[in-house]
Structure 1
Amino acid sequence: VTDAKKYDPKSRVNTFAHVNHTKSDPRLGVLLCINGTGILNAWTKRLLGTLSYKEMDELAVATPIGSDGVTVLPFGNGAERVLGNRNIGAQIGGLDFNRHDRSQICRAVQEGIVFSFMYGMEVMAETGIELKTIRAGFANMFMSDVFCQTLAGVSGATIELYETDGSLGAARGAGVGAGIYASFEEAFSNLEKRKVIEPGEGAYAEAYANWKAHLEKALA
């Protein structure tokens, strides 16, 4: 969210008036949308049978950064705005039947989602947006240590996780609109910070470069 008119001429990210936007105090959201993120994780869970998301996270932890050369492009849910409305489909690269198992797949799925975010963040950077801190609810994929550590490591941003989720945020926002809260400050006054993840050391840049090379080949 920014107070400046920042936008991508190619419309790979979407600039819009945020819920707290006013003429006197402008607040413009810049939205990066990746259609294939959550559905990829859910698809992988179904494919692996009886594993829980926690067990998938534990398998991902057992594999080093870069997933032993396996890369996943998470673009299997229709055309992607960040790719210029191209529909390249989801893809798995670098798979070796003799060395790789579900552990590498579980990590490559999470890395693929993170790296697609990073690709979009590079688009945002072209508009002049500088990324220093990522704030999110402690929910969905942000409950995974691998996901958070990879996102912090590749982006260089600090991640702050709060005790909330999308439904609670929507309810608080509705409360402001309905007059239950006098202001957004009051509505979110008791929001608790649960966890902070700082960028760590690791071969995240190399892993991202390998993933991006796979993407650029698919886009060629």
Structure 2
Amino acid sequence: MKYVMGIDLGTSGVKAILVDESGKVCCEASKPYRLIQEKPGYCEQHPEDWVNQTMAVMKELMAKQPVHSRQVEGISFSGQMHGLVLLNESREVLRPAILWNDTRTTAQCAHITKKLGDRLQKITKNQALEGFTLPKLLWVKEHEPHIDQQIDMFLLPKDYVRFRLTGAVHMDYSDAAGTLLLNIGEQTWSEEICQAFDISPHICPPLVTSEAEVGTLLPHIARDVGMKDGAKVFAGGADNACGAIGAGILSSDRTLCSIGTSGVILSYEEDHERELQGNLHLFHHAKKDAFYTMGVTLSAGYSLNWAKHLLAPEESFQSLLEGAAHVAPGAKGLLFTPYLVGERTPHADSIIRGSLIGLDSRHERAHVVRAVLEGITFSLNESIALFRQAGKNIDSIVSIGGGARSRTWLQMQADIFQAEVIQLDNEQGPALGAAMLAAVGCGWYPSLEVCANQLIHQAAVYEPEQQHAEVYADLFHLYQRIYTQTRDIHAGLKQYRSI
């Protein structure tokens, strides 16, 4: 039996799955790694941790397979977007990676916007936000000139891991689109942007499609993880692009809700000309010659993790959510905004912080948990509202990630989004998308669409409950007012966060 392996390098850990020729997910493994948060707004990781834990999950998958059936024909990757990995001439890491959810670069974003004006949007189809890679490069240039002088190449997280496993340096278009350095229309690094900020173009890696074969595992890596030599390695894509593939978002009538550390509403696009508003993003899809538009909630699953740590650190998520299932919509007059590390869509604001509005002495833990779930979903609904305002028809949404593991949350999504919400029968998220890229690359299927028909199946469909939907429509209007009415308060509190 032959297999392909999909590896997803997430923010909190790495996950790998093994898929056989029939399209069955045979086994999976995951390993955590730590975040480094030395100052408010800072979020970094050691790239070496990614490499070590990726090799550990690969080795674990091979250990689960009989010796005679360890023929992995192809490997591909998905990875957290935007994170800055800096290499010197000897391809050594110069400093810890600055991650997508690091918000130290507000001043650099303002500088980019002032310098390029409307040209930035025309070239990259995105605004300058703290999460993107270019502001991080400029921060290093300003604050760590001794590091800047040694930079010979920058990579994004999954691309660094793939380099360490193969010895080959590349970046795919779906991840490159999130750097603010890619000319989306021309599919090349932007000389104009590089010149504007004194960035040498040679530090930008060669660009490839997500389906491209970029090498094979180095012999000693294959030996260490228990694989046979010769496994083809494919470029892979950004986590959201691979998550879209793994959920079958491969045509213009498909929309995705993905709730991980962050939350994403993603909709397939045929071209890159759609007019965007409210800090929606447009990126290359991991499907060749396709794109997607996207809105982001920075603290989606992260908000629920925070609530669990605060309220029930010893309990399971299942136990925590069981209580919320018995609370009526509206959480007895309690509203939560998930701005724990700032927000992106529709408010690009690194200073805003979360709120619990309406607390009174009758509220219990279950009400707070329900309010957190509702607040995350309201935030995601702001992206859906922007899509609809732009003329996009959204009446069917595939839900993956943490939000797809709870019936209560799935029904809540249907009620708040006012759309049917589809749960998949074996949801593996971005790791499955990566495995599908490898399967198509190996010639198992003629296209991603055919592969999706074989691997992806619905488990359940949740329809809006009209009475609940009406309640949530009223609450959503109240939720939308919280940002503008608390923004100045949070700005005033900023000086006290590091005391």
Aligned to 1:159: 421
Give the deviation of 1:65 after TM superposition: 0.2
Is 1:209 equivalent to 2:477 in the alignment? yes
Aligned to 1:20: 287
Query: RMSD in angstroms over aligned alpha carbons?
Result: 1.9
CA distance in 2, matches of 1:92, 1:149: 22
Structure number with higher strand proportion: 2
Aligned to 2:294: 31
Q: Is the 8 A contact 1:7 1:13 kept in 2?
A: no
Q: Deviations over 1:66-124 (max 9, x none)?
A: 0111111001123424203353111111111x200101011000000000011111122
Residue type of the alignment partner of 2:389: E
* Counterparts in 2 of 1:3 and 1:57: CA distance versus 1, 3 Å: same
Is 1:8 equivalent to 2:276 in the alignment? yes
Aligned to 2:461: 196
Bigger relative CO (Cα 8 Å, ≥ 6 apart):
1
Q: Is the 8 A contact 1:65 1:207 kept in 2?
A: no
Aligned to 2:358: 94
2:380 to 93, 98, 117: 117
CA distance in 2, matches of 1:108, 1:62: 13
* Counterparts in 2 of 1:176 and 1:122: CA distance versus 1, 3 Å: same
**Structure 1, gaps ≥5 residues long:** none
Query: Percent sequence identity over matched residues?
Result: 24
Give the deviation of 1:28 after TM superposition: 2.1
2:303 to 14, 33, 40: 40
CA distance in 2, matches of 1:59, 1:39: 19
Aligned residues: 213
Residue type of the alignment partner of 2:423: L
TM-score by length of 2: 0.41
Give the deviation of 1:172 after TM superposition: 1.4
2:434 to 170, 177, 181: 170
Aligned to 1:147: 409
- Secondary structure of the 1:32 match is strand
- Bigger-Rg structure (1/2): 2
Q: Is the 8 A contact 1:63 1:103 kept in 2?
A: yes
| Pairs within 5 Å for 1:47-126 | 47-48=310-311, 49-96=313-360, 98-126=361-389
Structure number with higher helix proportion: 1
Q: Is the 8 A contact 1:7 1:30 kept in 2?
A: no
Q: 100-109 vs 56-65, which deviates more? A: 56-65
Q: Is the 8 A contact 2:345 2:382 kept in 1?
A: no
